[in-house]
Chains A and B, each alone.
Chain A
Amino acid sequence: MRVSGIAFLGGAASRLLPASIPFRFFGAAAIYHLLAWIALLAGATDVPRFAGGLGWPLAALHLVTLGVLVMTAIGASLQLLPVATRRPVESHRWPAVIWWIYTPGVAAVALGMGLPAPILLGGGAAAVSVALAGYAVLLARNLLGADGMPVVIAHGSAALGALFVALVTAISLAGAYLGVPLLGRGMALDLHVTFAAYGFMGLLALGLSYILVPMFALAAASDERRARQSLGLALAALLLAAVGAAGVAPQPLLLAAVGTGAAAVALHWRQMNIALKTGMRRNLGRSVTLMKIAWACLAASLAAGLGVALNAPFEGMAALFGLLLIGGWLLTFLLGVLQRIVPFLASMHRAPGHRRPPTPSSLTAERPLAIHYACHLTALSLLMGAIIADSRWLAVAGALTGGAGAVAFGSFLATVRRRMFAPEDTA
């Protein structure tokens, strides 16, 4: 049986989901990415001293977290985790159903926060919670009984646990706006930020990195013992932060959580650095530069989190913490990863029947990526300047520049998708 490498992927034993599943999540994320910058523009006046509360900055934050980060995480994890677990996703219908519930739910949450309209927010939060619970079940079923890459599976399982805490606290916070809080607002907020950003999304990012970074660099698998130690420290940091948030010796425990988290990050970064330095492929371009910047922002976010915990005498500390954690670490990391894996996945998914499989490099679009790279980093710098200088105009400039970057990134995704389905001679 002679088949092209890519056509061969269509076999019944394939662990690949149909291309329409991950790409619908990536497409929605691209649109929410642009909407996030527009929401930030709408709330630019409040951005430099933002410290929570309904309004467009909060909507922008959740358009990034729910609309871009979690949206992409669902699509990417359902595609990549089966590689680690060696088990296919059991249902192809569930991810599509999840998308149909989740995508309008995110829009309702963002509008409910921005307008503000608590009832819309509550309805959106309910839809998002149902969709994420469905995703959690799908992921848990794939992780149960998995027999590959134990470190990735452990990170995935821990991320699922963190997702549960993030969801319960999210429901409590949304319920508070409707007059039915489940937990005290301060505790719910601290737990939500910690478990959604560092817990669910952070652990998923760290876990998938153990597949992706060695694969990008063509390096040996990371040292499993070190990776387990890093995960153990990260879980200890989350636990310390949770107990601190519950009001038990909050400052000492938060200090301990930051220290333990920093040790986890250092161990993880060392593993990634070894992969990048020892891999067969050294010239990894903009994508890995973005990932390195993201790792630096992750460490900086811990320092800023310490500043928040210690009530540092700087009014913009909460906004700076949010920018470093969500924009600097998670969003920058995701965009770095996505620009590398999307052409790769598109190449794997190219419909059978083509005489020659397309190469990832023939499917990508370098110019939009170059524009996005410049815009994204400039936007983050401008927003940082806006927070430090308490400047509305720098926030406006940052939002406009970030929006231009989002358009460029969307153009990259659209180009890959068009080339993926193009006739053979034009691909």
Chain B
Amino acid sequence: MTSAEAGIRTPGRRWVAADGIHIDVRGLSPPGPLVAILELVGSISDATPVIVHHERDPQMLYPELAEIGWTAERIDSDPGEIRLKLERAT
């Protein structure tokens, strides 16, 4: 079990799972989440999705994602969390 799954969160922590690369940006001060997510997305050259664990709707992220050709999809999450699946647009 990862520390994130165990409830011990480190802001900005990344880990790899079967459904993609996860990043937990909860607890980061704006624009930290935006920067951390775009940094991760920018480092991916293939079709690997990114799963974002956030504490709020990251409104400033969407125009930035659109600009680099990625889309966001909201997926099921724990209460109090917003979880997004980011994928390169086809």
Contacts and interface: CB of A to CB of B under 8 A. Distances in A.
Interface of A: 1-6, 8-9, 11, 13-16, 83-84, 86, 148-149, 211, 214-215, 218-221, 224, 279-280, 344, 347-348, 356-361
Contacts of A6: 62-63, 66
The A contact surface, by secondary structure, is loop
A211 B30 contact: yes
Nearest to B74: A1
Given A1-B74, A5-B66, A280-B42, A149 B30 contact: yes
Nearest to B63: A347
Contact of A211 (B31, B42, B57, B89): B31
Contacts of B30: 83-84, 148-149, 211, 215, 221
Interface stretch (B1-9, B13-21, B32-40): B32-40
B71 to A, nearest CB: 6
Nearest to A358: B66
B38 A280 contact: yes
Interface in B37-90: 38-39, 42, 56-57, 59-63, 65-67, 70-75, 89
Nearest to B82: A13
Contact of B63 (A1, A84, A221, A359): A359
B35 A9 contact: no
Given A1-B74, A5-B61, A148-B29, 15 more contacts: A1-B75, A3-B73, A5-B63, A8-B72, A9-B59, A14-B59, A149-B29, A219-B31, A220-B32, A220-B35, A221-B29, A224-B29, A357-B62, A360-B63, A360-B66
* Chain B interface size range: 20 to 34
A9 B66 CA distance: 13
A357 B62 CA distance: 9
Contacts of B38: 218, 280
B90 to A, nearest CB: 11
6 contacts: A3-B72, A6-B66, A83-B30, A214-B35, A280-B35, A357-B66
A299 B32 CA distance: 29
Nearest to B87: A2
Nearest to A13: B57
A348 B65 CA distance: 11
Contacts of A148: 29-30
Contact of B59 (A16, A84, A218): A16
Q: Which of B56, B61, B62 has the most CB of A within 10 A?
A: B62
A5 B32 contact: no
Given A13-B57, A15-B57, A348 B31 contact: no
